[in-house]
Amino acid sequence: MAKRIDVSDLNIYYGDFLAVADVNVSIEPRSVTALIGPSGCGKSTFLRSLNRMHEVLPGAHVEGKVAMDGQDLYGPDVDPVDVRRQIGMVFQRPNPFPTMSIYDNVAAGIRLNARKMKRTELDDLVERSLLGANLWKEVKDRLNRPASGLSGGQQQRLCIARAIAVEPDVLLMDEPASALDPISTLAIEDLMTELKERFTIVIVTHNMQQAARVSEQTGFFNIAGPGQPGRLIEFNPTEKIFSNPDEKATEDYISGRFG
Amino acid sequence: MSQTSAPQAPAAPSPPPTSVQPRPRLPRWATAAAFAGAAVVAVLLGVLTALNLVTFVLYTAVVGTLALWAVSRRVEGRRKAKDRLVTSLVLGAFAVTLVPLLSLVYEVVRRGVARLDGEFFNSSMVGIIGPGGGAYHAILGTLIITGLTVVMSVPIGLLTAVYLVEYGTGRLKRAITFLVDVMTGIPSIVAGLFAYALFAIFFGPGVRLGIAGAVALSVLMIPVMVRSAEEVLKLVPNELREAAYALGVPKWRTIVKVVIPTAIAGLGTSVTLAIARVIGETAPLLVTVGITNATNLDPFDGRMATLPVFAYYQLTQPGVPPEFGIDRAWTAALVLIMLVMGLNLLARLISHFFAPKTGR
Ligand SMILES: Nc1ncnc2c1ncn2[C@@H]1O[C@H](COP(=O)(O)OP(=O)(O)OP(=O)(O)O)[C@@H](O)[C@H]1O
Ligand SMILES: [Mg+2]
């Protein structure tokens, strides 16, 4: 079930360092939202604050409000574990569990949370998730082999399968295709188009064409200089951002005239 | 300040880099030849001074290394010569470290093998004066007391390490780290006196109990356990923890199901090495457990025998004639070494079978 996310006046800190300032944005359900911007401007930081992964780093904290379907995710009585169950994440670098088999990695969200499920149901879920991540054909004969034996791109798709297996409402993806070949990238993009029927998807990417191809909305983050906080400069429908952006900085960045 | 010299001619185009040009190399037998020559020189030198095995080996090593270095320097150039020199030094250092180890093992085996018989493993020292007798009671005593030590120290050590790596922040973490460091430096006799004093409060002075020995050994084992487990847990990449959190797995489950399984091979090694550290301790057991000739397998009731203390008493009070006691002491030492070697082997096996597999 897709859900909308409303962010208001969000400031994100690493200790005393203000990394991202003043974000106001609404992320629509059943759509893909792309975040673009130069390296170090706080895209990953912002993404991680949406499912409260940011605060697992010592000293890291946020100010402001993030609401999912009206419910404040940072409210005093909200358990971050519950938030993360509803908002899944795929990381910039693939991180399968090295001690587990391919099968167990996909089933990890179920197994690690000790949710009971019949073996046949679980088999089904694993197959569906791997199919969804376009990995099934490559691994169906070696589901019980260790996941660390896969190539980097296969590991990344395994991580996507692992994330969608728990059926989150929202899926955050931090440069999911940066380690992938064009075919797998295309598969991931198709996957996103398919998944947005059910999930809300937020993706960080450095690939403009990818943002243009898959997303409905695009946010452009920028940073004024070293030590300055990153800011969301513009948030608009993707078509508008890529044809006729409101801000000069956005246009410069997109057309490569940056810096 | 401007110079008025004639404009410099542009530097002549330098020849292309020559790094791939073949350089003269010494033949493979050069090393052997250098040291063989050195051996001859050593014999000659030995005729002048006094020739024995030690001076012979020493002369050969020094002369051979210098000769090889000089020849290599002329033929192969400075870098290669330095490489050969350092290689010789490193190998020499390695050989020097091996000498005490090999001589120790050789001596213990040579002297210990005399009594490495069935009787040694089957009988205690009850009623033994002179030949015969064994360390049945001491072997079991060592196993029981070490086992109790493990049961007490491993959970405490492991949980402390988990706290330090996964939860600890600020003052408390620093305080615990400091205290663990201090504990690492406690002399073993002090640990023994501590346990003795502790049990003397409850059981009166002169108390001797197996469990008191286990407590003393725990004081020594816990800091070793904490330190090594901490290092192992730190090696688990943070990304794996984040991967689990992102699936909505609570922190404690992440630790139990992801962090510890990933580190299990290293943790197994830490446990066995920590055991090896305490299994041969003598002083703390001397003051807490004492010794007995009969078999006592109850750590909560009176004196027990242990291998190190057994060896100590057989050596210092061998009786008359002394050789039987001394033989038993060496055999006890041999059995102790075998136990530690067995543990190290076990650690190897554990890390071999539990290490995350790559399975390509
Ligand atoms: N763990 C951290 N501790 C302190 N500062 C951090 C940490 N991670 C990131 N930062 C800082 O926060 C800012 C934003 O970093 P972030 O990783 O969000 O950038 P990004 O937009 O994702 O860049 P990239 O495109 O290279 O991935 C940077 O200035 C970075 O130095
Ligand atoms: Mg990033």
What is the DSSP code (8-state) at residue B168? -
For residue B115, pLDDT beyond 60: yes
- Cα(A20) to centroid(ligand 1), Å: 9
Q: A22, A11 in Cβ contact below 8 A?
A: yes
| pLDDT at site B19 | 62
| pLDDT at site A225 | 85
Same domain as B160, residue B74: no
Decide if B102 is inside a domain.
Answer: yes
Decide if B136 is inside a domain.
Answer: yes
Q: A179, A153 in Cβ contact below 8 A?
A: yes
Same domain as B189, residue B314: yes
Decide if B8 is inside a domain.
Answer: no
Give the integer Cα–Cα distance in Å for A60 and B306: 53
Give the integer Cα–Cα distance in Å for B345 and B343: 5
Of the residues B82, B115, B148, the one at which a domain ends: B115
Same domain as B282, residue B169: yes
| pLDDT at site A1 | 65
Q: A175, A204 in Cβ contact below 8 A?
A: yes
Decide if B23 is inside a domain.
Answer: no
Look at chain B and report how many structural domains it folds into: 2
Decide if B180 is inside a domain.
Answer: yes
Q: In what order do the strands lie in the sheet with A17-27?
A: A71-72, A60-68, A5-14, A17-27, A230-237, A217-223, A32-36, A200-204, A170-174, A87-90
| pLDDT at site B1 | 42
Give the integer Cα–Cα distance in Å for A196 and A206: 20
Q: What percent of chain B has pLDDT over 70?
A: 92
Q: Identify each DSSP E strand in A70-205 by its residue range.
A: 71-72, 87-90, 170-174, 200-204
Q: B88, B65 in Cβ contact below 8 A?
A: yes
Same domain as B238, residue B109: no
Subunit contact B357:A146, Cβ cutoff 8 A: yes
Subunit contact B239:A51, Cβ cutoff 8 A: no
Strands A230-237 and A60-68 come out as: unpaired
Helical pair B260-279 and B136-162, crossing angle rounded to 10 deg: 140
Decide if B7 is inside a domain.
Answer: no
The pLDDT mean for chain B works out to 88
Ion ligand 2: protein residues whose beta carbon lies under 5 Å: A 44
CB-CB neighbors (< 8 A) of B258 in chain A:
97, 99, 112
Same domain as B240, residue B104: no
pLDDT tens figures, B66-110: 999 998 888 888 898 999 999 999 999 999 999 999 999 999 999
For residue B17, pLDDT beyond 80: no
Same domain as B101, residue B34: yes
Instruction: Find the CATH number of the domain harbouring B286.
Output: 1.10.3720.10
Distance from the Cα of B351 to chain A's closest Cα (Å) equals 13
Same domain as B302, residue B198: yes
pLDDT tens figures, A225-235: 888 999 999 99
| pLDDT at site B50 | 72
| pLDDT at site A78 | 92
| pLDDT at site B45 | 81
Beta bridge partners of A101: A146
Subunit contact B358:A148, Cβ cutoff 8 A: yes
Give the integer Cα–Cα distance in Å for B196 and B207: 7
Same domain as B55, residue B158: no
Q: In 3-state terms, what secondary structure has residue A196?
A: coil
Q: What percent of chain B has pLDDT over 90?
A: 60
| pLDDT at site B4 | 46
| Closest atom of ligand 1 relative to the A43 alpha carbon | 21
User: Where do the structural domains in chain A lie, given as residue ranges?
Assistant: 5-254
Q: For residue B148, which of B79, B217, B203, B98 has the smallest C-alpha distance?
A: B217
Same domain as B127, residue B98: no
Task: Give this prediction's pTM.
Answer: 0.83
Distance from the Cα of A24 to chain B's closest Cα (Å) equals 24
Of the residues B72, B96, B115, the one at which a domain ends: B115
The amino acid at residue A19 is A
Decide if B51 is inside a domain.
Answer: yes
Structure tokens at B55: 């001076």
Provide the residue-wise pLDDT of chain A in tens; the chain has 259 residues.
678 899 999 999 999 999 999 999 999 999 999 999 999 999 999 999 999 999 999 889 999 999 999 899 999 999 999 999 999 999 988 999 998 999 999 999 999 888 888 999 999 999 999 988 888 999 999 999 999 889 888 898 899 999 999 989 999 999 988 877 888 788 888 888 888 888 899 999 998 999 999 999 999 999 988 889 999 999 999 999 999 999 999 998 988 765 4
Structure tokens at A197: 């029927």
Same domain as B193, residue B84: no
Fold of A5-254: Rossmann fold (3.40.50)
Q: B258, A97 in Cβ contact below 8 A?
A: yes
Subunit contact A109:B254, Cβ cutoff 8 A: no
pLDDT tens figures, B37-77: 888 888 888 777 777 888 888 888 888 999 999 988 888 88
Q: What percent of chain A has pLDDT over 90?
A: 63
| pLDDT at site A133 | 85
Angle at B330 between CA B325 and CA B335, to 5 degrees: 120
- End-to-end CA distance of chain B, in Å? 67
| Distances A124 to A102, A119, A121, B36, B167 between C-alpha atoms, Å | 14, 9, 5, 71, 37
Of the residues B74, B99, B115, the one at which a domain ends: B115
| pLDDT at site A258 | 58
pLDDT band for B5, please (50, 70, 90 cuts). very low
Structure tokens at B260: 């510890």
Same domain as B310, residue B343: yes
Strands A17-27 and A200-204 come out as: unpaired
Flag whether residue A219 sits within 8 Å of chain B, measured between CB atoms. Answer: no
| pLDDT at site B254 | 94
Containing domain of residue B277, as a range?
Answer: 122-354
- Cα(A222) to centroid(ligand 1), Å: 12
Same domain as B221, residue B192: yes
